[in-house]
Amino acid sequence: MPTTSTPVSSIPNLGPATEAAFARAGIHSAETLRELGPDESYRRLLESGTAPHFIGYYVLVMGLQGRPWNDCQGEEKKALRLRFDAIKAGAKGKGRSEIEAALDALGVVERRR
């Protein structure tokens, strides 16, 4: 019996552009995104060349919890910022495409921070 998959964009707060970005990262379904969780999914997104953006990360976290994106506030938002910074620091390529990373290693591209 064939299994069905639900589009990434079925998760609250995530639209077609986010779905396309996750597809480039090899994540093609909402089920896979939920199974990996927000941190691993976001790390894969960064490693596929997507530039890091804190709002994008916490929108993902809120969506996976079924909450509106703007529900993230106060101490919870501070804690998510720490998680985001750790994911960003640990991601291979840190949101750069392979060519950008290679050019950066040669000193041709200005470093992103």
Count: domains in the chain: 1
pTM, two decimal places: 0.79
- Asked if residue 113 is part of any domain, the answer here is no
pLDDT at residue 99 in the model: 62
Give the separation between CA 25 and CA 47, rounded to whole angstroms. 8
- Asked if residue 4 is part of any domain, the answer here is no
Q: What is the CATH number of the domain that holds 35?
A: 1.10.150.20
Q: Whole domain around residue 62: which residue ranges? A: 9-105
- Asked if residue 111 is part of any domain, the answer here is no
Give the separation between CA 91 and CA 96, rounded to whole angstroms. 10
What is residue 52's three-state secondary structure? coil
- Asked if residue 31 is part of any domain, the answer here is yes
- Asked if residue 66 is part of any domain, the answer here is yes
- Asked if residue 81 is part of any domain, the answer here is yes
Taking only the tens place, the pLDDT of each residue in 5-37 is 999 999 999 999 999 999 999 999 999 999 999
Taking only the tens place, the pLDDT of each residue in 66-102 is 999 999 999 999 999 999 999 999 888 655 555 665 6
